[in-house]
Amino acid sequence: MSPDPNTSARARALLLLGCLIVPAIGCISTEWAKLRDHPVNPLSHQLALDSRRGPQPTQRTLQMLRKNDLVDHLDGDPELLLAEAQSVANAEPTAEHVYAIAELAYVAAKKVEAKNQPLALDMYGTAVANAYLYLFDESYQAGRNPYDPRFRRACDLYNNSLENALRYVQSQGQLKPGGTHVVRTSRQAFDVDIAVRGTWHEEHFGDLKFASDFEVKEFTNHNKSYGLGVPMIAVYKNSNHERPDEKFYPPGMSFPVTAFLRVMRPEPGHDRGTEEKRHRCVIELHDPLKTSKISVGNQIIPLETDLTTPLAYSLDNPLFKKANVATRGVHKPEKTMATSGLYMLEPYDASKIPVVMIHGFWSSLVTWMEMFNDLRGSPEIRKNYQFWFYLYPTGTPYWFTASNLREQLAMARQSLDPNRESPSLDKMVLVGHSMGGLMAQLQTMESGNEFWSLISEQPLDSLLASPEVIDDLRQTFFFQPNHSIRRVVSIASPFHGSNFSNMATQWLGRKFINIPEKLVQKRDQLIADNPGYFKADHLLEITTAVDGLAPESPMIAAMQSATRAPWVQYHNVIGDLEEKKVLGSVAGGSDGVVTTTSAHLDGATSELIVSGDHITIHRNPKTILEVRRILLEHLRELQFDQPIAVVAGAAESH
């Protein structure tokens, strides 16, 4: 038996109200990166760091001490124990002995760091140096076994000892890129060079924070890769120069960094009237978005990276609080005009293809973060693509916002590539959710006179209005397809309108959405100054996005008949609620907001139906996999035009 249409309509109306209300009240307390009580440390269990007795070496290191009659020194002077162990290693230089020294030094550092930080730094330096020797020195090649758990533990000893040493350097105010910093311990001096490797430059680094200090919230997946180095969060600092890309970076933007220390041989030196060991250290700050592997000697090693924690840290910026931005963008569009525009959450790279993500009604760019995080976890995608996000007031009719997006894309190209020297910018992909899919489509259409004829049969030049108003109308209703856009991916977009835009919801929209008074006055004055010029029920009378989504909206019909750019490929994702579930039983054949019929796109290169609701479909794993497939297909097809480097492998997620 088919469901009663009146019941279905009521259920869908209730669902729409739920879809409107939930984003507004459900995300107010969103916290993306929560500060931990204690940093994450993979050695905690293995070395009993939190036990009552205190840190202890592993059984294999204890065995080495027993074999060399050193176990009685374990609870005595740590420096004496290390000196005795070093004598054994000097007499019999083996991988086992050098590893044991690294572990013993780390345990000693943990025991003394609360009361003697300079001595702890000495111990951490010894642990780093010996772990480095174990992993890279050719003389230990025969005893180095990557299948031995001790090999991974050596990596953890290197990483965590380096992290603790960096924390000490930071406490001295010397963890700053550029120049040479002198760091003194209880018995040594280090000349520390902090060098930047990758996209960023020294002047871009503000605060540096440790990724292990934060627990990631909200994200389903955490993109990490395992290797050597300390994952960090760098807060972007605007340079003193007028960089063209800085205008697209949000305040407080953060980016991932991996710190890696190259261990150098100590050099003798004279200082403070006594002879001391002098070390030169180079701390390299690598950009994991640029490279995930580095060369050490004759080896290629993977960097330990964390892409998700810096992103989560960025999103705790008040600018991106979901409920605030999304609700104001609907309720009071003029309040978000100052923050509207294109945003980049990673460095601009002229060699990478832009993927522009356009959110839907009652939403913001934060809605894309689940997809963005998952897509960036693919080495091929982060190697070849950069992601831009368009933030806009969603209460405004989408054809006006589409005009602004057109202007924003043109401005970005002029700012970033004024001489049009970057071919990657002409391979752009747009991804739009819901109403954002309609706006993406409007970037690739030829307007002709079709859209203006919805307003008036008279020429625009005969309109009595200021040059500014005429120019705004011309940009909105007369446009050419953007030649830089090669693909459009639409997700749950109402190409044939949505029945949720009915008399009730339109009334609700007009009550809730406050169109700026100046715009209303300007429109009313325009109509009064041009009697008989405009058609009855013309588009200027439509004041909210909800009104413009009705199936009978003239804009919907005009978009259906408009000519699309022949060089653009279109892909489509449709949501469909499962009938066996509660909502699906009354709203089957739709995603709860848009019917499958309305979401269908004629002429699409591909079209996929995903079981999911309208609000979360773009965060559905099947949708994300489809977008990933499309982006990789885009790369493969472009290789026939111009080779683009594709990196093999995959980042590990968990």
pLDDT at 186 over 80: no
Alpha-carbon distance 323 to 426, whole Å? 34
For residue 646, the model assigns a pLDDT of 44
pLDDT-based confidence at residue 357 (cuts at 50, 70, 90): very high
CB proximity list for 313: less than 8 A, separation 6 or greater: 32, 33, 209, 214, 233, 254
Q: Among residues of the chain, what percentage have pLDDT more than 70?
A: 79
Q: Count the neighbouring beta carbons within 10 Å of the beta carbon of residue 461.
A: 7
DSSP per-residue codes, 354-421 = EEEEE--TT--GGGGHHHHHHHHTSHHHHHHEEEEEEE--TTS-HHHHHHHHHHHHHHHHHHH-TT--
DSSP sequence for 459-508: -GGG--S-HHHHHHHHHHHS----TTEEEEEEES--TT--TTSSHHHHHH
Phi, psi of 331 (to 5 degrees): -70, -45
What band does 588 get if pLDDT is binned at 50, 70 and 90? low
At residue 323, the pLDDT reads: 43
3-state helix, strand, coil in the chain (%, to 5): 45, 20, 35
- Per DSSP, the residues of 100-146 read HHHHHHHHHHHHHTTT-HHHHHHHHHHHHHHHHHHHH-GGGGGG--T
Identify the pLDDT of residue 267: 53
User: How far is the CA of 541 from the CAs of 420, 510, 523, in angstroms?
Assistant: 40, 12, 9
CA pair distance 490, 432, nearest whole angstrom: 5
Give the burial string for 317-347 (b: 16+ CB within 10 Å, else e).
Answer: eebbbbbbbbbbbbbbbbbbeebbbbbbbbb
Pairing, β 267-271 against β 274-286: antiparallel
Measured CA to CA, the distance from residue 332 to residue 394 in angstroms comes to: 9
Give the pLDDT confidence score for residue 241 in this predicted structure: 58
Lowest mean pLDDT among 8-22, 220-234, 295-309: 8-22
User: Among the ranges 64-73, 178-187, 189-198, 358-367, which has the highest mean pLDDT value?
Assistant: 64-73
Separation CA 488–CA 568 (nearest Å)? 7
* pLDDT at position 42 over 70: yes
Query: Model confidence at 589, in pLDDT bands (50, 70, 90)?
Result: confident
Is 23 or 422 the better-scoring residue by pLDDT? 422
- Token look-up 């831009």 returns 388
The CA-atom distances, in angstroms, between 539 and each of 21, 75, 400 are: 28, 83, 11
Q: Is the pLDDT of residue 462 over 80?
A: yes
What's the pLDDT at 642?
Answer: 53
Lowest mean pLDDT among 79-83, 254-258, 548-552: 548-552
- Residue indicated by tokens 């009313």: 524
Find the largest Cα–Cα distance for the chain.
Answer: 104
Neighbours of 365 (CB within 10 A): 26
> Quick check: helix, strand or coil at residue 509?
helix
**Arithmetic mean of pLDDT, 392-420:** 91
Nearest to 346, CA basis, from 391, 412, 287, 427: 287
Find the Cα–Cα–Cα–Cα dihedral 174, 179, 184, 190, rounded to 10°: 130
- For 463-506, how does the pLDDT look when each residue is reduced to its tens digit (9 = 90+)? 999 898 889 889 999 999 999 999 999 999 999 987 654 443 33
Residue 519 burial by Cβ neighbours in a 10 Å radius (0-12, 13-18, 19+): middle
* pLDDT at res. 3: 45
Question: Which positions ≥6 away from 303 have C-beta within 8 Å?
Answer: 225, 227, 228, 229, 258, 260, 286, 288, 291, 292, 293, 294
More confident residue, 396 or 417: 417
Q: What is the pLDDT of residue 553?
A: 82
pLDDT at 270 over 60: no
Of 174, 259, 170, 246, the C-alpha closest to 204 is 246
Q: Which residue's entry shows tokens 């091929």?
A: 380
Question: What does the pLDDT read at residue 499?
Answer: 65
More confident: 248 or 511: 248
pLDDT band at 519 (very low <50, low <70, confident <90, very high): low
For residue 115, pLDDT over 60 is answered with: yes
Q: What is the percentage of the chain residues whose pLDDT exceeds 90?
A: 53
Q: What is the pLDDT of residues 565-587, one digit of tens each?
A: 999 999 999 999 976 454 444 44
Calpha distance 347→386 (Å, rounded): 8
CA distance linking residue 187 with residue 246, whole number of Å: 44
Q: What is the Cα–Cα distance from 422 to 420, expressed in whole angstroms?
A: 6
> Using one digit for the tens of pLDDT, what is the confidence trace for 80-90?
999 999 999 99
Q: Give residue 396's pLDDT.
A: 80
Residue 25's pLDDT band, with cuts at 50, 70 and 90, is very low
Using alpha carbons only, what angle is made at residue 223 by residues 222 and 227, rounded to the nearest 5 degrees?
A: 125
Six token digits for residue 650:
């995959």
pLDDT category, 331, cuts 50, 70, 90?
A: very low
Distance in angstroms (rounded) separating the CA atoms of residues 313 and 232? 11
84 vs 275 pLDDT, higher one = 84
Average pLDDT over residues 229-235: 96
- What integer is the mean pLDDT of 517-532? 77
Residue that is written with structure tokens 């109403």 in the block: 435
Average pLDDT taken over every residue of the chain: 83
Most confident of 11-15, 135-139, 352-356: 352-356
Buried b (16+ CB within 10 A) or exposed e, 118-156: ebbbbbbbbbbbbbbbbbbbeebeeebeeeeebeebbbb
What is the Cα–Cα distance from 162 to 227, expressed in whole angstroms? 13
Q: What integer pLDDT is reported at residue 340 of this predicted model?
A: 83
* Tokens (6 digits) for 358: 């356009």
Distance in angstroms (rounded) separating the CA atoms of residues 540 and 526: 10
